[in-house]
Amino acid sequence: MMKRIIVSLLLLVSTSSVTNRMAVAAELSQYAANKAMKANQLAQEDKLSQAIETLKTADVSRGYDKAYFSRMLGVFYWQNEQIKPAINALEQAVASGELKDDQGWLTERMLADLLLMNQQFKQALPHYYQLSKNIPQTQNASELWLRISQVHYQIEQWQKTLNAIAEYDKYKQPDAVTPLSVKLGAQLQLERWEEAIPTLKKLINLEPERSNWWLQLVNLELRTGKKKDALSSLGLAQLQKIELSDADLRLLAQLYAHNGIPERAGLVLEQLKDAQTNVDLITERAFYWQRAKEWDKAIDTWALAAKFDGKYHWNIAQILMQQARYDDALSELDNVKEKGKQAQVALARTKALYKLNQLEPALIEAKKANNIEPSDEAKSWIKYLTQLRKAKDNQTS
């Protein structure tokens, strides 16, 4: 993109230099003016090699004549796609000091841009800074400072990049992608996360369809602890139909959950392509439904997880117990087979049977729990149920 901009500028400069030669012919010697007119005519006829040869073989001695010919050669070499000779010719023209005012400024600008096009960044910079000291009113000062910032960016001088962008900003140009992108890149390299956030928001306003701007914004908001802002940005990106990866959607779900909206988290996870087959995604979704107190959805989701791993029957049983669905809970507890959970299963069955007023089976389960793994809870149930049974026996005797 930078090369395209430079080429456009050089076309503008070279065209103006050719069409205005007759205006400055009076400053040339008569011999030089005739040669310049001949070379110009050949160039207009696309005979660039002949135009170049005409100037190279001309016998000129005056300083201004030499500088002017060097400038013309620079233009012709560039038009003939001979970049290095063009640079050498323009360097001679600039170094002579013979070209003044706008003519001299444009010549040095052309040299700086050609050096940049040829990736001679460090050589281009001094010329750009020299140009910045006295910018003609006819020239675009903001564009020059943008170019300076781009050169600093190319050689990874991040603070100087931002300094040049600050000069560019003084000209109050409308927001544009190129300067904002350069600014953002330097801010990120310097880890200035807070400063980069408003830059990204401006880029999003200009290119709302670009997913990388949205995702970078979310990343920076997370880095700076702005989780609510990150949720808003990622949620808005989804509403804007930005294509989000499964990892992005999972992050969105986690942000919804972190910000107290677990039901939205569950809905987002349902959109993932592996939502029905990835156990981690299924169990994460089940937890969100539980937090949202969507009990039926939580049970259904744990049931799906249990098809892949039987240990999740325990999660279903716990919800059923919590919801006082004791008959269903007892059936589900039959599916919990892990040895390490048998004491807990027996205690859960104890409670369910007690709630169903089945005291004798409940006492049997309490004793079973205590035999597997003695605990205060099991002993309390045994004591309590034994007392209830005695009281009931006394009532019936």
DSSP string, 137-158: TTS-HHHHHHHHHHHHHHTT-H
Does the residue 201 lie in any domain?
Answer: no
**pLDDT value at residue 23:** 45
Which tokens go with 200? 């990204």
Q: Is the pLDDT of residue 303 over 80?
A: yes
- The per-residue pLDDT for 395 is 75
AA identity, residue 248? D
Q: Are 54 and 42 spatial neighbours (Cβ–Cβ below 8 Å)?
A: yes
- The mean pLDDT of 151-165, rounded to a whole number, is 98
Task: Tell me the H-state helices in 190-277.
Answer: 193-206, 211-223, 227-239, 246-258, 262-269
Q: How far is CA 316 from CA 162, 299, 349, in A?
A: 57, 6, 14
Burial of 307 (0-12, 13-18, 19+ CB in 10 A): exposed
Return the structure tokens found at 90.
Answer: 């323009």
**Which pLDDT score, from 0 to 100, does residue 397 have?**
60
pLDDT of 317 reads: 97
By the 8 A CB rule, do 150 and 162 touch? no
Selection from 243, 185, 196, 256 nearest residue 220 by Cα: 196
Q: What value does the mean pLDDT take over residues 327-352? A: 96
Task: Tell me the pLDDT band of 14, cut-offs 50, 70 and 90.
Answer: very low
Mean pLDDT of 27-44: 92
User: Among the three residues 139, 165, 195, which one is the final residue of a domain in this structure?
Assistant: 139
pLDDT of 362 > 90? The answer is: yes
**pLDDT mean over 278-283:** 96
Residue 377, domain extent: 332-397
Give the C-alpha separation, 134 to 101, whole Å.
Answer: 9
Average pLDDT over residues 271-285: 95
pLDDT of residue 26: 46
Amino acid at 388: L
Rounded Cα distance, 274 and 249, in Å: 12
Residue that has been written with the tokens 């001094």 in this structure: 126
Instruction: Establish if 204 belongs to a structural domain.
Output: no
Asked if residue 18 has pLDDT above 70, the reply is no
Per-residue pLDDT band for 3 (boundaries 50, 70, 90) equals: very low
What CATH number is given to the structural domain containing 50? 1.25.40.10
Across the range 74-102, mean pLDDT stands at: 94
Which pLDDT band, with edges at 50, 70 and 90, does 154 fall under?
very high
* Domain finish residue from 100, 123, 139: 139
CA-CA distance, 84 to 57, in Å (whole number)? Answer: 19
pLDDT at residue number 394: 75
What DSSP character marks residue 27? G
Give the length of the chain: 397
**Count of the separate structural domains present in the chain:** 2
In a domain, 322, yes or no: no
Whether 8 has a pLDDT exceeding 60, the answer reads no
Q: 293 in helix, strand or coil?
A: coil
Given 139, 169, 187, the domain boundary residue is 139
Residue 391 has pLDDT above 50, yes or no: yes
pLDDT at 13 over 80: no
Does residue 69 form part of some domain?
A: yes
Taking the CA of residue 355 as centre, how many other CA atoms within 13 Å lie in the half-sphere pointing to its CB? 17
The answer to whether the beta carbons of residues 297 and 266 sit under 8 Å apart is yes
User: Is residue 99 situated within a structural domain?
Assistant: yes
Q: What percent of the chain has pLDDT over 70?
A: 93
Give pLDDT tens digits for 160-195.
Answer: 999 999 999 999 999 999 999 999 999 999 999 999
Residue ranges of the alpha helices (H) in 323-375? 326-333, 342-355, 359-372
User: 220 and 197 in contact (C-beta within 8 Å)?
Assistant: yes
In a domain, 55, yes or no: yes
In a domain, 221, yes or no: no
pLDDT tens digit string along 198-255? 999 999 999 999 999 999 999 999 999 999 999 999 999 999 999 999 999 999 999 9
For position 393, what pLDDT does the model report?
Answer: 74
- Residue 21 pLDDT exceeds 90: no
Q: Return the percentage of the chain with pLDDT > 90, whole number.
A: 89
Structure tokens at 357: 């007023």
- Tokens 């620079």, located at residue: 74
Q: How far apart are the first and last CA of the chain?
A: 99
Q: Is the pLDDT of residue 36 over 90?
A: yes
Task: Report the distance separating Cα 192 and Cα 180, nearest Å.
Answer: 14
Residue 323 has pLDDT above 60, yes or no: yes
Q: Is the pLDDT of residue 6 over 60?
A: no
For 110, how many CA atoms within 13 A lie in the half-sphere containing its CB? Answer: 35
Prediction pTM value: 0.79
Identify whether 112 is part of a domain.
yes
Alpha-helix residue ranges (DSSP H) falling in 57-176: 63-79, 83-96, 101-117, 121-132, 141-154, 158-169
| Range scoring the smallest mean pLDDT among 143-147, 288-292, 331-335, 391-395 | 391-395
- pLDDT of residue 22 exceeding 80: no
The whole-angstrom separation of Cα 193 and Cα 121 is: 27
Q: Is the pLDDT of residue 70 over 80?
A: yes
Between helix 63-79 and helix 30-44 the angle, nearest 10°, is 10
Mean pLDDT of 300-304: 97
DSSP 337: -
Q: Could you give the CA distance from residue 263 to residue 245 in angstroms, rounded to a whole number? A: 20
In this model, does residue 7 exceed pLDDT 80?
no
**Predicted confidence (pLDDT) per residue in 128-142, tens digit:** 999 999 999 999 999
Say if residues 379 and 368 touch (Cβ distance below 8 Å).
no
d(CA 80, CA 67): 20
> Which value, in Å, is the radius of gyration of the alpha carbons in the chain?
40
pLDDT over threshold 60, residue 120? yes
